[in-house]
Homo-oligomer: A and B are copies of this chain.
Amino acid sequence: MKLYDLELSGNCYKVRLFCALIGQPITLRPVNFLEGEHKSAEFIERNPFGEIPVLIDGDVILRNSQAMLAYLARKFDREDWYPTGAREEAEVMQWLMVAENEIARGPNDARLHDKFAYKLDVEAARIASARLIEILDKHLSRCKWLALSKPTIADVACFPYVALAHEGGISLEPYTSVRAWLDRVKALPNFLTMPAI
């Protein structure tokens, strides 16, 4: 398995993190982001959206980090991380969707603006972040993990950009339940970190 990777990308990091948590080795292939390798014709052939990460496993090519987590959990029979069964699967998937939508539009966009100088509506990103983190904090005041009574790929998917929120100008200081959850993720066996976490 090979991951087209960027060290500072939270979406790449979540795949590295999950591989570490389940003890599966993965070969990292750093992408030359500054020179725009992810926009090259060769890369677009692998991922028409021109984004990282990309996961290659034999003739399987995946371009979405949430789908990579699901793929890895299924491939390695880790139902503990991604259950089967209609209800539990859907409850995990709902949080994969939060990673894909509310987290992307909130803390991820704010960080892209502040740290990587992306041109985007940073005001909207900060409002979306505040709203999201309020919801997360309330939710996590009532449960230890996002989707089920144990850690799942939902937690892995949502962790990176919440843990990096300060790089988008968002303080987690008032959100004790969010911070306690981040600490629980960091305390998982074989946890792997990245810069600024």
A interface residue numbers (CB < 8 A to B) = 48-49, 60, 62-64, 66-68, 70-71, 74-75, 84-87, 89-91, 93-94, 96-98, 100-102, 104-105, 120-121, 124, 135, 138-139
Contacts and interface: CB of A to CB of B under 8 A. Distances in A.
Given A48-B135, A74-B84, A121-B124, 6 more contacts: A64-B97, A66-B97, A67-B91, A67-B94, A84-B84, A121-B121
A74 B85 contact: yes
A101 B63 CA distance: 13
A84 B83 CA distance: 12
A139 B44 CA distance: 12
Contacts of A85: 74
B63 A94 contact: yes
Contact of A74 (B70, B86, B100, B105): B86
